[in-house]
Homo-oligomer: A and B are copies of this chain.
Amino acid sequence: MRQSIKQICRHVSSKTIFSQPSNNLSRKDIEKLTTSELLCKLGFIAQPNAGLVHWLPLGKGVLDNVNNIVRKRHNENKCVEVELSSISHSSIWDKTNRWNNNELFKIGEYCLAATAEEEITTLVTPYLNSYKKMPFIGYQITRKYRNEKRSRGGLLRGREFYMKDAYSFDIGETEALKSFNSMNETYEKIFNDLRLPWVKANADSGDIGGDLSYEWHIVSEIGEDDIVKCNNCGSCGNVERSHSIKGEDGKFVEESDVKYFLSKENELICIYFPKGRKLSMKFVKEEDLVDFNEQLMNKDEIINKFVENNEQNDGLVTIFRLIDKQVGPGTKMPDLPDNVKFNKNHMITFQELDITESQEGDHCDSCKEGTLVNMKGVEVGHTFYLGTKYSKPLEGNFIDKDNKKKPYYMGCYGIGISRIIGVIADILRDNNGLRWPSIIAPIQVSIINKNTKKNDDDVKFEDTLVKELQNKNIRVENDDSDKISFGKKLNKSKIIGVPLQVIVGVNEGIVEIETRGCLFSEEFRKIKEIEGDKWGWEIISKSNVEKHIVKKEYASKVIEILLKDM
């Protein structure tokens, strides 16, 4: 047709004004910079205000590439792409009781979309009116908004960010779980495509059909989340939300710790749990016992407030005691403070609760055999089975086979696109600068001539190579300015994370290809063995840089093979 989409999608250049200062960064400079500073310095993004991001050409290149992987894998799973308005009316958020949320940016009766369960359910209901039309999974890759108080630098916790959100609609629980599973498979494919060390962490509350959900983490030292992984079966969980076997049945710890909370009715809640373990705040939150401002008070303050509030009805107010299952006969438990007057008839005790976080050394609750080890993770995705939680209040109904009106069974599935980019930049950078997996690198190959004044043969060769690579859909840039030195060009290509530098002009018949971080996969080694001699392909490894020397006429073949391997 009249235009080539290929060309348009790939128009990313490192030669814009935004990427020029990168020439002057030394290794020491690089080390000192945080990843978000590095991304800014190298012209990937800019940060106009806390939690806000401008995407500059190189960053937009990464963004487009990540989006295309996400899009491809969703389309393969028959998900339908839409783009919902980012402005949403309070009326539908009122129905699901989510309007009173401090994290929503509000403009009068409207909010900026943070997620889209309400909008998409309202949108699809008139169309999705019969059982025949399901399953249906809709998704979008759009900007989302959150009035984030703790907004961090860069791409990790923004107030405006790119998110992929998908929503599945099914006629019943079995069908909905099938959609849920297909989406989890889609996520595995996406994170494998991105070549990331990921874990799928169990985040369910235990009862299927209730809150089945997984958190998807990239394993990284910079992670904020604590994850445990079984050394036997490999299953993972967030320490706050997963279950583990903490000791043996009927065997209790020596000493118990206690935490106090005030219920919304001003009752005292005393939670007893093994000393040295961490109470799972998630448990307390889910039970919705307490006003969470209380959390900020220390023990004495809570007790004083309780006593003060109940001066009138001394000893007649209920005291709840919640006791962890590792606390029992033989465990030393702290006494209630002296100023708390209580009546044993008004004391209610729950025992055998599992209310502490999982931790290293616990036994795995999945295989019952392995032991858990600690990891740090950054949450970049979440998959939820929702059941009828949203469809019921939103009246998202369809007519089933039996001619009866029934609510959809739903799931929702998020991926933090901006966040993934931030994490990838962070975990792969080295002292030469950024390093992008070739599949998302905005530029995959830099062609650089050793001589600032090129000879005609080289010019011809470079032009041919560019065309050959473009025909293979490889994102290539020929840095042919004659005002910048070879060293500066090479350095810039490496620092911005281009996977391959093809150096022309070293020797008449060959090119040198520099690269960091090939996998040397089996497939790779096989081809090298078969074709190596014919292609004149030699590899010289030096610290974490490899140099591939190859005959000019086979350059594009080797480039293609290398890119697949990194």
Contacts and interface: CB of A to CB of B under 8 A. Distances in A.
Nearest to A2: B439
A259 B124 CA distance: 53
Q: Specify how many copies of this chain sit in the oligomer.
A: 2
Interface in A25-62: 43, 46, 48-49, 52-57, 60
B55 A83 contact: yes
A351 interface: no
**Which of the listed residues A107, A122, A145 has the most CB atoms from chain B within 10 Å of its own CB?**
A107
A48 B123 contact: yes
Given A1-B473, A5-B68, A60 B83 contact: yes
Given A54-B123, A136-B17, A4 B85 contact: no
A81 interface: yes
A72 B8 contact: yes
Nearest to A474: B1
A375 to B, nearest CB: 28
Contacts of A6: 5-6
Interface stretch (A86-94, A325-333, A340-348, A360-368): A86-94
Contacts of A83: 54-55, 60, 63
A486 interface: no
Nearest to A142: B143
B54 A17 contact: no
A55 to B, nearest CB: 4
Contact of A160 (B82, B87, B124): B87
A48 B85 contact: yes
B54 A82 contact: yes
A156 to B, nearest CB: 16
A11 B46 CA distance: 32
Contact of A82 (B11, B60, B84): B60
A18 B81 CA distance: 11
A399 interface: no
Interface string A99-120: 0000001110010100000010
A48 B88 contact: yes
A444 B2 CA distance: 13
A89 B54 contact: no
A159 interface: yes
Nearest to A116: B54
A394 to B, nearest CB: 13
A17 B52 contact: no
**Which of the listed residues A3, A88, A136 has the most CB atoms from chain B within 10 Å of its own CB?**
A3
A110 to B, nearest CB: 8
Contact of A439 (B1, B57, B87, B193): B1
Interface in A379-415: none
Given A5-B68, A7-B72, A52-B85, A17 B563 contact: no
A236 B28 CA distance: 60
A80 interface: yes
Contacts of A69: 3
A75 interface: yes
A1 B563 contact: yes
A136 B15 CA distance: 12
Contacts of A199: none
Nearest to A438: B1
A54 B5 contact: no
A540 to B, nearest CB: 26
Contacts of A63: 83
Contact of A75 (B11, B81, B143, B438): B11
Contact of A57 (B82, B123, B128, B160): B82
15 contacts: A1-B439, A1-B563, A3-B72, A8-B68, A9-B9, A17-B128, A17-B133, A17-B136, A49-B85, A49-B87, A60-B83, A63-B83, A86-B160, A87-B160, A107-B112
Given A9-B9, A54-B83, 4 more contacts: A2-B439, A17-B133, A48-B85, A112-B112
